[in-house]
Chains A and B, each alone.
Chain A
């Protein structure tokens, strides 16, 4: 069974539920403190939270931790690396993904269920979705306003939309360019997303749409 490291930085706070979601999706997962090694794992998930309390810029301090060098190597090997929320911020701050996450257009924390359109179902994390499918997940962040110089050069995985999949200004909760909610690297094995798939992995919590992010990732490793 593929085994994933759920990386824990000081201040990470979505580690437990991310481990549960991966297990529910049929994989194995372990919480791994940021000073431990990642060599026995088939992939890495950097979960949400407030590593170093978001001081300076969200993700900035974690992105400079030694373990990020190891993660860059793992990414080069083609293993899957998923950054959720603060994990996405860490991936952009460390240069593993392009762009930056700025403070929301209304500059405060926003916790809300949103609709997402799956714009790319060819990445390691989206193969269980169909292209253009509309799914539901919660967001919870203060710095999720994605910006990149040339958005046409990147692989967009998820975009904020309305229930019908329309990409509109009203459906954009944080001011992201092109309503971007998640992107991947060129190879599709490193993906960052602001919405929380692990919080949408249980029918009682509002949706199971997020589970397929983890199922895709597990399937990708198995191939």
Chain B
């Protein structure tokens, strides 16, 4: 806490808080729990439209899928804990977001895991990577929620660190929505699930500090041991308990533990709570009131029920062998009172815990973008180096470890433009995540917009129309003026891009203080988009047969700043891709129409690695080669062959189609050009008829599937 905050608290309270009170206040006033540095700016994001049932403000957002189906979505980060203990950190991160979905009344049906690491050539980074993946797999698989997508990215700036973001989706009937706040007094508060230990004490405050060099050796209270077995039982027991209609409010225990869950549940509509902290089942001996109140032990939920309904509800917990205890009750008076045995150990106006003043930090813009000359690089050399970059190669090694099929909804599986879950016999839910920290670092405003439009292009590529967005904002310390500026620019970008498509953010997360040894990470906003797709329209990126024509939609510019080519060849600076929202909209609409009218065989958006990699991915996923002439690519300025191939300009797609549909397609797009055809078993790039590079699918495949080799397998 900052000195000025301590002063505010003392004034509000009229005295110094005692030790227990101070610990609770500290937890609730931490950046992680209060969003004090971000709240002012988050208000700029659009959060309402006809698709939104419930926007930000509770544990997760709710989207209307159809009259009978609501989709619940949330997005969390577990960066600091995963950097210290990757297996447990990643796993408990999943546990947390799954309970967020659950506590809105929904059954969790899918996970997306965007994860980021330092370069794989270093042992510590490989360790973080392998164990984060294992943590996600072991937890997600055991609770029976499929991990259907995500991203894996590597960047120098994350050396020794990791960004572990996780999004979860749930499904319910709209009338099953349950809130996290109470609207009457007299209700009992029932704590269900794991026993409470000293886990994660000061976890939220920990999440709001930078990591020091030997984080590994740091106090073990920073991490928790994942318990997917209890989580699975909690999921089933909670859904069964909700079916009784006797649960009045429900909240999961995450950051801030019992203090946060109970004060928010009581305080939101002006009630108060009494907590009998000594009654909380304790795992470790000699715990005190403070530890019990702020412990972040995992796999716990807080239920509010009426006294006469208690028996009916707890019978269900008994069936699942889950510990439950009445730990408190809701009172009329808006106070938060804690007892330890007979002794009253805390007595605060509840608003001190739930109403935290915002902070606006100083911000300072910077300019890193500068046009640079792209050096002369041999095309084959560039193609092989970019294709073999850990950011480009197949992530099959990762997603084979995830059960992406459980629950029987996975129509489009990992490794494609977007995942699609079957929701009913006619429609599917498409979902995808994108982040582009290298663009964001050069230009946070356009970088943020690029995240949004890339997700929308991914959705369009499978034939899905967007419904809603969620965001996860991973940044360094907001106390640094440049970082705070990045953050504000990012919010503006996220906001403008969403508004252009009439989309709303229904939930989100901010994670500040992502630094190691005083080195800030690149600004890393990550966006997840959800869309609706008619199953019969589903389209994939693989070419379907030889002879299909290949076309490019959109214009290519000299936008290689933050590109994979520049990264691989160590080229600093450059101009990051700029998002032109009108162009983006037109091309996305065109693609959706082309799919609906069945004019295309394959669609893929152009993103990381540019045109060359997009074509390679389409080819490798179909085992069909191609021949294209890149002189036919529409450009807005003079570009070298290398620039045409690897520019990461936005608003572009590659499609393949039958010749007979050419004219109809030409009418759909302002910027469209046929560049070649699907052919043979080689990838052939030409420029003005002159061959630039030819590579066999066999050779390309070996490069594309080299992740196990990079891990020493």
Contacts and interface: CB of A to CB of B under 8 A. Distances in A.
Indicate whether A and B are direct neighbours in the complex (CB within 8 Å): yes
Interface of A: 10-11, 13-14, 16-17, 20-21, 33, 48-50, 52-55, 108-112, 138, 140, 196, 198-199, 201-202, 204-205
Nearest to B130: A108
Interface residues of B, number: 30
B558 interface: no
B301 interface: no
Residue of B137, B406, B422 ringed by the most chain A CB atoms within 10 A: B406
Contacts of A109: 137-138, 141, 400-403
Given A55-B229, A138-B405, A205 B411 contact: yes
Given A10-B233, A11-B232, A112-B400, A205 B137 contact: no
B546 interface: no
Contacts of B143: 13
Contact of A17 (B138, B402, B407): B407
B405 A196 contact: yes
Nearest to A21: B408
Interface in B346-401: 399-401
Interface string B216-236: 000000000000110011000
B320 interface: yes
Contacts of A198: 408
Given A54-B142, A108-B134, A204-B411, A14 B406 contact: yes
Contacts of A21: 408
21 contacts: A10-B320, A13-B144, A13-B232, A13-B407, A16-B407, A17-B407, A20-B408, A48-B406, A50-B141, A50-B228, A108-B134, A108-B401, A109-B400, A111-B399, A111-B400, A111-B402, A140-B403, A199-B406, A202-B408, A202-B422, A204-B422
Contacts of B687: none
Contacts of B408: 14, 16-17, 20-21, 198-199, 201-202, 205
A8 B681 CA distance: 49
Interface of B: 134, 137-138, 141-144, 228-229, 232-233, 319-321, 399-411, 422, 428, 535
A170 B407 CA distance: 28
B136 to A, nearest CB: 11
A204 B533 CA distance: 13
B422 A49 contact: no
Given A14-B406, A202-B422, A205-B411, 12 more contacts: A10-B320, A16-B407, A20-B408, A54-B142, A108-B134, A110-B401, A111-B399, A111-B404, A111-B405, A202-B408, A204-B428, A205-B405
B134 A11 contact: no
A48 B403 CA distance: 12
A140 B232 contact: no
Given A55-B229, A204-B422, A50 B144 contact: yes
Given A110-B401, A112-B400, A53 B319 contact: no
Query: 10 shortest A-B CB distances, which residue pairs?
Result: A13-B144, A17-B408, A53-B229, A50-B142, A140-B403, A204-B411, A109-B401, A138-B405, A199-B405, A111-B403
A53 B228 contact: yes
A33 B319 contact: yes
B229 A10 contact: yes
A168 B403 CA distance: 25
Residue of B137, B142, B229, B403 ringed by the most chain A CB atoms within 10 A: B403
Contacts of B320: 10
Contacts of B141: 50, 109, 140
B86 to A, nearest CB: 15
A108 B137 CA distance: 9
Nearest to A112: B400
Contacts of B406: 13-14, 17, 48, 140, 199
Contacts of A33: 319
Contacts of A54: 142
A21 B410 CA distance: 15
Nearest to A111: B403
B26 to A, nearest CB: 35
Nearest to A50: B142
Given A11-B232, A140-B406, A111 B401 contact: yes
Contacts of A17: 406-408
A138 B134 CA distance: 20
B629 to A, nearest CB: 35
A62 to B, nearest CB: 12
B319 A11 contact: no
Residue of A17, A140, A198, A201 ringed by the most chain B CB atoms within 10 A: A140
A202 B141 CA distance: 21
A184 to B, nearest CB: 24
Contacts of A138: 405
A89 to B, nearest CB: 14
A50 B407 CA distance: 13
B407 A49 contact: no
Contact of A49 (B134, B144, B233): B144
Contacts of A50: 141-142, 144, 228-229, 232
A17 B407 CA distance: 6
Given A109-B137, A204-B535, A11 B229 contact: yes
Contacts of B399: 111
B321 A10 contact: yes
Contacts of A55: 229
Contact of A205 (B229, B403, B410): B410
A33 B321 CA distance: 13
B240 to A, nearest CB: 10
A95 to B, nearest CB: 25
Nearest to A16: B407
A204 B411 CA distance: 6
Contacts of A11: 142, 229, 232-233
A123 B400 CA distance: 31
A14 B233 CA distance: 14
A205 B409 CA distance: 7
Residue of A13, A112, A140 ringed by the most chain B CB atoms within 10 A: A13
A202 B409 CA distance: 9
Nearest to A54: B142
Contacts of B404: 111
B443 to A, nearest CB: 38
